[in-house]
Amino acid sequence: MDIIIVGSGRVGRTIADHLNLEGHSITVIDEDAHALEKLPDTQNIMTIEGNGATLSTLKEANVSDCDLLIAVTATDELNLYTCLIAKNAGVKRTIARVRNPQYTKDLPFVKDDLKLSLAINPELICAKELTRMLKFPGVESMTTFARGHIDLIKIKVEKGCVLANKKVVQSSHILKDGIRICVVERQGECFIPNGDFVIEEGDYISFIAPSKAAAKLLKSLGIVSNRGRTVMLLGGSRIAHYLAMDLCDAGIDVKIIDNDKERCLELSEALDNALIIYGDAMDQDLLLSEGIEHCSAVVALMNTDEENLVSSLYAKQVNPKAKVITEIGNLKISSVFENLPLETMINPKKITGENIMRYVKAMHNSRDSEFETVHPIANGKAEALEFRVRKDNLATGIALSGLDLKDDLQIACITRQGKMIIPKGSDSIEIGDTVIVVTKRKGLSDLEDILR
């Protein structure tokens, strides 16, 4: 597809890099020539120095012939205006990054008037992801498929876990009710396991399961036995605002510490059930006086990576049992922290890019099947792709044991008429099914691509 990206900040560059790897033709527009120079040097990415919100610049990028425009500048208003101009100039679809909570609230009323295909709020999406993590403190990450009926959950195999030192096939008495392990991460490597694969202590496993069965499994593994009731948020950012709203609605006690007095007043007015504390979240005496050692979870959401890292390490030191989540803004150095004793790191820009990539993949459908969603696994080393089968193709109507599937690929789940099927060799893919494929291979754009 031909895609225009307006804005070459970290989010714009991340999206351009991913789309380039998928083989799309990319044009990036920005007024900052230095920012454009940071883009990957490849023939699939063209750059234009200029104002992407003007018709003349968009025409230079051949906007009328493009399939999609993505506006991810630092300004909400500019993103919305750019999408409106581009749509009137002939682009087929538009995506805008919109961060202001007030705009996000009002967008459903004006989305059609603005001719927006999709509005992305990084902080809101990030808060929803954090809410899922905090409701299940032992879960590393959790995403959903099949319109919320199927969960993809990542956990760590701790010492003494009943899954440790067993072959996948030996864990069938635990992994029942439609549950399947689809990815294992071990010391930086990613595996698509078969039945003979042995799970070890320290592994991170991702499994697919119906939502009700997932909750039951987590409880049986002891992962939700310490379900959190008190969460401390270090920093009063927009993410903290959204997250506090969700947690308070779930009946969880929330404390927010921020050193900006005006921001504290704003949060106090917006959040009736949260305790807002004006103070320095880096002050150890303050954190101790507010009971950080007794909190079930601590989330570091301050302005700098350094503050978040130091405060997270301190929280883990004084409260080893707490779920500690750290916001990291710099994608380039996030790998440096993987060996630190930090449980979970989140990056709003990465989450934004992943959500936009899901939409782009959904656009890029074939005549026989169509992407519903795609979720990166194992830091992008693998993907879980959801297809909805529209017509007969080379993968339908044949027993799975008779399909010549590519390596590093697993058909993890088939949903048929609302019923989830963990497929066996005798099962087949039929028209109307939703199929979840887990793979380490990149660039699958059609269900038939799973075949050799």
Confidence band, pLDDT 50/70/90 cuts, at residue 226: very low
139-220, CATH topology level:
Alpha-Beta Plaits (3.30.70)
**Cut 0.75: pTM above it:** no
Question: What local confidence, expressed as pLDDT, does residue 337 receive?
Answer: 62
CA angle, residues 310, 314, 320, in degrees to nearest 5: 135
Question: What local confidence, expressed as pLDDT, does residue 368 receive?
Answer: 46
Question: What local confidence, expressed as pLDDT, does residue 122 receive?
Answer: 85
CA–CA distances in Å: residue 53 to residues 49, 50, 71, 175, 203: 12, 9, 9, 52, 47
CA atoms within a 13 Å half-sphere pointing along the CA-CB vector of 232:
26
Question: What local confidence, expressed as pLDDT, does residue 369 receive?
Answer: 53
Phi, psi torsion values for 335, nearest 5 degrees: -65, -25
Regarding predicted confidence, which is higher, 74 or 214?
74
Question: What local confidence, expressed as pLDDT, does residue 289 receive?
Answer: 96
Query: How confident is the model over 203-218, as a mean pLDDT?
Result: 82
DSSP conformation letters of 235-290? S--HHHHHHHHHHHHTT-EEEEEES-HHHHHHHHHH-SSSEEEES-TT-HHHHHHT
Nearest CA to 130 out of 384, 319, 351, 313 is that of: 351
Lowest mean pLDDT among 160-169, 312-321, 334-343, 365-374: 365-374
Lowest mean pLDDT among 30-44, 64-78, 323-337: 323-337
Query: How confident is the model over 396-419, as a mean pLDDT?
Result: 90
Q: How far apart are CA 125 and CA 422, in angstroms?
A: 29
Confidence band, pLDDT 50/70/90 cuts, at residue 67: very high
Nearest CA to 296 out of 278, 313, 310, 315 is that of: 315
Lowest mean pLDDT among 144-148, 236-240, 298-302, 407-411: 144-148
Query: How confident is the model over 167-183, as a mean pLDDT?
Result: 82
User: Could you tell me the end-to-end alpha-carbon distance of the chain, in angstroms, rounded to an integer?
Assistant: 24
Q: How far apart are CA 65 and CA 50, in angstroms?
A: 19
**136 pLDDT more than 80:** no
The fourth-level CATH superfamily of domain 2-120 is: NAD(P)-binding Rossmann-like Domain (3.40.50.720)
Per residue, the 3-state secondary structure of 206-233, as one string, reads: EEEEEHHHHHHHHHHCCCCCCCCCEEEE
Which residues belong to CATH 3.40.50.720 in the chain?
A: 2-120, 230-350
CATH of domain 362-450: 3.30.70.1450
DSSP conformation letters of 89-125? TT-SEEEEE---HHHHHHHHHHTTTTT-SEEE-HHHH
Average pLDDT in the chain: 86
Query: How confident is the model over 317-330, as a mean pLDDT?
Result: 89
Confidence band, pLDDT 50/70/90 cuts, at residue 187: confident
Query: How confident is the model over 194-212, as a mean pLDDT?
Result: 88
The fourth-level CATH superfamily of domain 230-350 is: NAD(P)-binding Rossmann-like Domain (3.40.50.720)
Question: What local confidence, expressed as pLDDT, does residue 148 receive?
Answer: 66
Q: How far apart are CA 322 and CA 284, in angstroms?
A: 16
Characterize the bridge pairing of strands 25-30 and 45-49.
parallel
Question: What local confidence, expressed as pLDDT, does residue 367 receive?
Answer: 43
Question: What local confidence, expressed as pLDDT, does residue 239 receive?
Answer: 94
Query: How confident is the model over 327-340, as a mean pLDDT?
Result: 69
Confidence band, pLDDT 50/70/90 cuts, at residue 269: very high
